[in-house]
Amino acid sequence: MSTPLEDDEMITVVFPAAVVHVIDPFKLAINRGSHHSIRMGQRFLVYKLSDQDIMDPTTGESLGRLEIVKGTGKVTHIQEKMSTIESDRKTPAQKTVIRKRNPLSSAWFGEQEEERVSPTQDPLPFEDPVVGDQAKPV
């Protein structure tokens, strides 16, 4: 059985890809798929370009447009010409510090410190994703 890349001419993968559909704030579809050698678990940076070129104040040279990052994600589903990427950013681990007094003293001398870190981290959505945003492998 042949694959799309065996049947057709090899496609030169050109990035950036474009966001073609916002499934929800956590999942986006991009216009690259198996036909473009996209792999499961591949990571992408999602961004938009600033409206204006950024100029170097010293040389006056245009540095191009600034990439405004909207998040990162991993490929979770691949079709021939498009893929789904899901946000892989997480909330920071919750850290709680508890200070206890030494029970043998009425003063705070010899206090003990206990630290607890919550292993659960909630997923974070992409920041205001829209059709036309760009994506590139990272």
pLDDT in tens, 32-91: 999 999 999 999 999 999 999 999 999 999 999 999 999 999 999 999 999 999 999 998
Is 21 part of a structural domain of the chain? yes
Is 115 part of a structural domain of the chain? no
Is 105 part of a structural domain of the chain? no
Q: What is the pLDDT of residue 1?
A: 45
Q: What is the pLDDT of residue 96?
A: 66
Q: What is the pLDDT of residue 7?
A: 46
Q: What is the pLDDT of residue 93?
A: 73
For the chain, the domain total comes to: 1
pLDDT tens digits, residue range 110-133? Answer: 555 566 666 678 889 999 999 999
- Alpha carbons 128 and 99: distance in angstroms, whole number: 40
Is 111 part of a structural domain of the chain? no
Give the pLDDT mean for 93-114: 61
Q: What is the pLDDT of residue 5?
A: 46
Is 44 part of a structural domain of the chain? yes
Per-residue tokens: 10:
């090899």
How far, in Å, are 73, 97, 109 from residue 47 at the CA level?
A: 11, 36, 52
Q: What is the pLDDT of residue 14?
A: 83
Is 35 part of a structural domain of the chain? yes
CATH number at residue 130: 2.40.10.410
Is 11 part of a structural domain of the chain? yes
Q: What is the pLDDT of residue 2?
A: 44
Determine the structural domain holding residue 42 and report its residue range: 4-92+123-137
Per-residue tokens: 38:
């996209």
pLDDT of residue 3 exceeding 90: no
pLDDT of residue 12 exceeding 90: no
Instruction: Give the chain's length.
Output: 138
Region of residue 110 (left: phi > 0; alpha: psi -120 to 50; beta: else): left
Residue indicated by tokens 């490929």: 75
Is 116 part of a structural domain of the chain? no
